[in-house]
Amino acid sequence: MEGFDVIAGIDSDPSCKYAYEKNNSSKFIQADIDGLSGDEIAKFYPEEAIKILIGCAPCQPFSTYTNKLKEKNWKQWSLLDEFGRLVEEVQPEIVSMENVPSLGSKDIFKDFVNLLRRNDYHVNWSNVYCPDYGIPQQRTRLVLFASKFGVIDIIEPTHTPAEYVTVRETIGHLPPVEVGETHESVSLHRAGLMSAMNMKRIRSSLPGGTWEDWDESLRAACHRKESGKSYYNVYGRMEWDKISPTITTQFSGFGNGRFGHPEQDRALTLREGALLQTFPPNYEFFEPGSEYYFTHIVKHIGNAVPVQLAKVVARSIRVHLDEYERQ
């Protein structure tokens, strides 16, 4: 969308193949990066091309919640090291990555930055608040750039707080659907199922409210405990005229976050999650006419870098390269 030739992408999940190749006119490589060599990646770049390598290690091991778990339990901790190894072997002119802000305080990130600097990269990173760039969700991400040519600065914000894109502006035009229903004419406008208890709970939930709005009989066991009384980030409805919470792979479940629709008695549909992640309405997640797994699409949408943030990264690189070429 920003004029770059996306030549290939690597992921261990084979269910990504159709969407990646169809929407990017690109090659999908199913592999774990720890089993790839730099030579295997380097062969994809055309001769004389300015090589750009972008990586995104899974954010789960660096998140606030899973930081409580022992680091050694996570294979994903090593993937940033593997990305650094590939950078060192390929020596692309431009490198970028994004992750959760808490990664910036980890030794593994500091080691990665030091590796880049040893390889003569100019490194710059910042924590980016996504609504500042027209993304309608309360998401902050660490975005890193590294270049052989000089420092890459992220482009200036495009939106002020008064201009933040709201839930209403993003999904308010969609027709209503019931729990478990798929709209006949809006692709992916499909809502997940909900238990009878959660149906009672969502009917008692107010936009922006909490489980404290419910009758005592509806409250979950965890909320009855002293340790759970302040835990408000589940079983919530979104608010029309505010930005949404961060979209995760749990966005299709009412009990997994503040993913309740502002008015309708259900969690977000696949289409609503995709729009809040700023996917274009014509993005194809599965081959037309084929069956698809609801859980696969939820995962693809929830794990994605918001498309608008990816565009901001690409535009920042393009501005940098334009400046380099003028020198």
First vs last C-alpha separation in the chain: 26
Q: Are residues 53 and 106 in the same domain?
A: yes
In a domain, 286, yes or no: no
CA distances from 80 to 58, 177, 251, 319 (A): 9, 41, 26, 26
β-partners of residue 28 are 9
Our answer to whether residue 59 is catalytic in this structure is yes
Q: Are residues 262 and 218 in the same domain?
A: yes
Has residue 169 got a pLDDT over 90? yes
- CA dist 103 and 110 (Å) reads 9
Q: Are residues 147 and 173 in the same domain?
A: no
Range of the domain at 317: 8-161+306-326
Has residue 69 got a pLDDT over 50? no
Has residue 66 got a pLDDT over 70? no
pLDDT of residue 211: 84
pLDDT of residue 73: 46
Number of domains within the chain = 2
Query: pLDDT tens across 263-286, in order?
Result: 999 999 999 999 999 999 999 999
Q: Are residues 145 and 21 in the same domain?
A: yes
In a domain, 172, yes or no: yes
Q: Give the pair of three-digit tokens for residue 195.
A: 């238990």
What region does 67 belong to: left with phi over 0, alpha with psi -120 to 50, or beta?
alpha
Q: Are residues 144 and 198 in the same domain?
A: no
Has residue 118 got a pLDDT over 50? yes
How large is the average pLDDT for residues 7-20?
Answer: 94
- CA dist 29 and 16 (Å) reads 10
- CA dist 325 and 147 (Å) reads 14
In a domain, 2, yes or no: no
Q: Are residues 172 and 157 in the same domain?
A: no
The one catalytic residue among 16, 56, 59, 222: 59
Q: Are residues 19 and 125 in the same domain?
A: yes
Q: Are residues 233 and 96 in the same domain?
A: no
Q: Are residues 31 and 145 in the same domain?
A: yes
Q: Are residues 32 and 142 in the same domain?
A: yes
β-partners of residue 8 are 27
Query: pLDDT tens across 179-203, in order?
Result: 999 999 999 999 999 999 999 999 9
Q: Are residues 102 and 155 in the same domain?
A: yes
- CA dist 199 and 25 (Å) reads 42
What CATH number is given to the structural domain containing 226? 3.90.120.10
Has residue 63 got a pLDDT over 70? no
What CATH number is given to the structural domain containing 20? 3.40.50.150
How large is the average pLDDT for residues 68-79?
Answer: 56
Q: Are residues 173 and 43 in the same domain?
A: no
What confidence category does residue 65 fall into, taking pLDDT thresholds of 50, 70 and 90? very low
